Amino acid sequence: MAEEILKGGEYLIKAVDCASVFTPEEFTDEQRQIAETTEQFIASEIIPHHDEIEKQHFEVVVEGMRKCGELGLLMMDAPEEYGGLELDKATSMLVGEKIACGGSFSVAFAAHTGIGTLPLIYYGTPAQKEQYLGKIISGEWCAAYCLTEPGSGSDALGAQATAVLSSDGKHYILNGTKQFITNGGFARLYTVFAKIDKKHFTAFLVERDFDGLIVGPEEKKMGIKGSSTTQIILENCKVPVENLLGEIGKGHKIAFNVLNVGRFKLGAGVTGAAKMALVQGVKYAGERKQFNRPIASFGAIQEKIANMTAEIYASESLIYRLAGLLDTKLATIEKGIDNYYDEYQKAIEEYAPECAIAKVFCSEVLAATVDEVVQIHGGYGFVSDYPAERFYRDERINRIFEGTNEINRLLIPGMILRKAMKGELPLQSEAMKAFESLMTPSFEELDDSVPFAAEKLLLKNLKTLFLILAGTGVQKYMDKLADEQEILIAAADIAIQIFALESAVLRAEKNCATASARRKELYRAAVKVFAFAASEAAGSAARRGAFYIEEGDTLTMILSGVRRFSKYDATGLLQAKRTLAAAAIEEEKYLF
C-alpha cells in the first residue's frame, strides 16, 4: 500500500516520520552537477561583472540570461515537448539557491524563470507556447510580470488597468499603468493583467514592440540596484485577441497560483543569499583583530555565527522538505492528460500555506543574517567597499516581494482554517483535544532512546498551543476572525516556527542514522540552538495572541498552558553554540 501523502497544513495535527521528508543530503549526482554548473557560471560570468551590473549596464544582464539559456538553466520547469527539461522542484530550487550568489542578476533570473515564464507554461495554449516559450527558455527574450499598479499592491484584484475589444474584434485595447515591474527595462514579453470591460480580471501576453506599450524610467532603488524596475504604461496598447492568456475573468487564478510558486522559489533564493552572507561574516571575523585577537575568538561574535548557522540550517531544511512534498504530490499526476496543468496547479495550491511559510521564514532568516554580518564588520559594514553593505540593502526587498510578509502571515492561518471548513483538515476535533489537555495537566518523561526526544516533545506541545490559540480565536470571533489580523499573525508565527523546527529536527534525525560522529554533533548542535530560538518565538507569539483574545480566568488558564507548552529543556545550549561557531570559523563555510 502506497504511503499517504501529507496534506497541506496537516503537519499541525500529525506527527511526521523522518523517512517521509526530503533533505539536501539526498541530492542525486545529477542534481549536484547542475548545482556545480550553476555555481561555476555565477563565479565566472556574473561576479566579475558585478560592478557593471550594479551600474545598470543591462546588456550584461541580458547576455548573462542568454548564457543561462545555453546552459539549460532557464528551462527547468518547461515541458519537454517545447524544448524544456521539466525537472523536479528540488532541482529548480537548488538552481535558484545557487543563482542567489549573483546579487542583482539573481533578481532578473528569478523573475524571468518564475513569474515571467510560469504563466505561459501553466496557462498558455499550444500556439502561444509554440510562439513564445522557445524564445523565453533559450534566453533570446527576457520575460516580466505586470500585476502591481500604483494604487494596488497587495490588493491585486483592485487593479484599474482596462481592456476593451476593438470594433473589428481582432485586438484588445489595454490602458493603465503597471508599477515596480522587475525586468521591465529589457523584457521582450510581459504577462499583463487588466479588467475586460472594467470587470473581468484577465491576463494577456504583451510583446514589447506592440503599439501603445511604453517602458517607464528606471526606479531609483535602495537595493538590488543592478536589477531593472520600471513602470509599464499602456496607452491604447493593441494586443491580438489570440494573446489572451487563460480564460476571460480568470486572471486571479493565474496571479495567485503563480505567486505560490514564486514564494517557495524566493525561499530558496534567500537561503542561498544567507549562506553567502554568513561565509563573508565568518571570514571577516577571522581576519579582523581587536585587542590583539581575531574577533572570531570572542564569545559575542561566536554566538552570532552559531545563531546564523542554526537559522540557515532550519531555512534550508524547510525549503527542501517543501520541495519533496511538492515533487511527491506532482508525481501522482499522469503526464499527458488533457487537464495536466489544472491538476498540477491544484497540487501546488495544496501546499499554499507552506509556500507562504517558506517565503516569510526564509526571508526573515536572511534579514537577521545580513544584519549580524554588518554588525560583525562594525563600521566597515556600513561602507560600500565591503559586500556586507550591499547585502544589507539588497535583502530588504525580499520581505516585500511576492506579497508582503504581513499579507503572507495573514494567508497562512486563513488558508488552513478554510481547509478545516471544507472538511479537509479535522482542526475542530483536534482543537477540542488540545483544550482537554490544557485542563488536564500531564508531565511526560523524556525517553532517551528516542532521537531528539526533547525537540519532538516541544513540537507536539507547540502544535497543541497552535490549536488552542486558533480554536479560541474561531470560537470567539467565528467568521469575523478574518478581520482580527493581529490574532491571525500571532497564530501564523506559531505555525511558521513549528514547520521550520520540525523540518530541522526530521532532517537531523534522518541523516544522523548514517552520519559520522562529527556530523552528528553538528546536527544536534544546530537543532538545539534553533529549537531554543523557536520555542522562544512561538511562546512569545502565543502569549501575545492569548492577551488579544481572552481575559480573566480563561486568559490565566491559557497563559498557564503557554508556559507549559512552550517549555524546552535547552541544557547544553552554550556548548552547542560554541560547537557550531568553532566549526564554522575553522572551515570558513556554511557547515551543512
Which residues belong to the active site?
Answer: 402
Q: How far apart are CA 523 and CA 537, in angstroms?
A: 21
500 and 314 Cβ atoms separated by less than 8 Å: yes
Q: How far apart are CA 416 and CA 406, in angstroms?
A: 16
Region for 223 from its dihedrals, namely left if φ exceeds 0, alpha if ψ lies in -120 to 50, beta otherwise = beta
Q: How far apart are CA 51 and CA 64, in angstroms?
A: 14
Q: How far apart are CA 362 and CA 423, in angstroms?
A: 30
Which H or E run includes 174? strand 171-182
156 and 262 Cβ atoms separated by less than 8 Å: no
Using the 8-state DSSP alphabet, how is residue 112 labeled? I
200 and 248 Cβ atoms separated by less than 8 Å: yes
Grid cell 579582523 — which residue? 288
Q: How far apart are CA 241 and CA 528, in angstroms?
A: 58
Grid cell 557560471 — which residue? 41
Q: Quote the Cα angle for 317-590-37, to 5°.
A: 85
Q: How far apart are CA 481 and CA 471, in angstroms?
A: 11
128 and 249 Cβ atoms separated by less than 8 Å: no
Q: Which three cell numbers stand for residue 1?
A: 500500500
* Burial zone of 284 (CB within 10 Å; 0-12 exposed, 13-18 middle, 19+ buried): buried
What is the rounded radius of gyration, in angstroms, for the C-alpha atoms of the chain? 24
Grid cell 544567507 — which residue? 274
Q: Is the dihedral of CA 348, 352, 353, 354 positive or negative?
A: positive
